Amino acid sequence: MKNLFYAIKQKSAIALVALITTFHASAIPRIDTEYGYNADGFVRVKVTNETTRELACYVAIDGRSIKFVLPPRGASRWYRATDKRFTAKSFSVWCDYLEFHPAYQRYKR
């Protein structure tokens, strides 16, 4: 009888962890971040929305941030650094669903 209760507790714990992990994974918008260099040698970044919903995003480097709205399945333009000493790791990229950040509505194209 003890083994039966132990098995039920173990299966319940596994189901709870799977449930929490599933919700967490689906709560984050899927984006693709592409880095490269332009003809002048400055590092640049482009963000692609892999979801079917609009995203509020920003790209920041060295205290300068650019806010924009990404359409569903769309891509941003290239944003470049202002100094050749910056690398791809110098960029900070953030995106979230637009309905959670209504202030970003003014950045729509």
What confidence tens digit (pLDDT) does each residue in 62-88 have? 888 999 999 999 999 999 999 999 999
Q: Which residues contact 35 (CB under 8 A, 6 or more apart)?
A: 43, 44, 45, 88, 91
pTM for this structure?
A: 0.72
Task: Tell whether the model's pLDDT for residue 14 goes beyond 80.
Answer: no
Task: Tell whether the model's pLDDT for residue 93 goes beyond 70.
Answer: yes
Confidence of residue 5 (pLDDT cuts 50, 70, 90): low
Query: Distance of CA 59 to CAs 27, 48, 80, 83, 94, Å?
Result: 21, 12, 10, 15, 7
* Predicted pLDDT at 27: 76
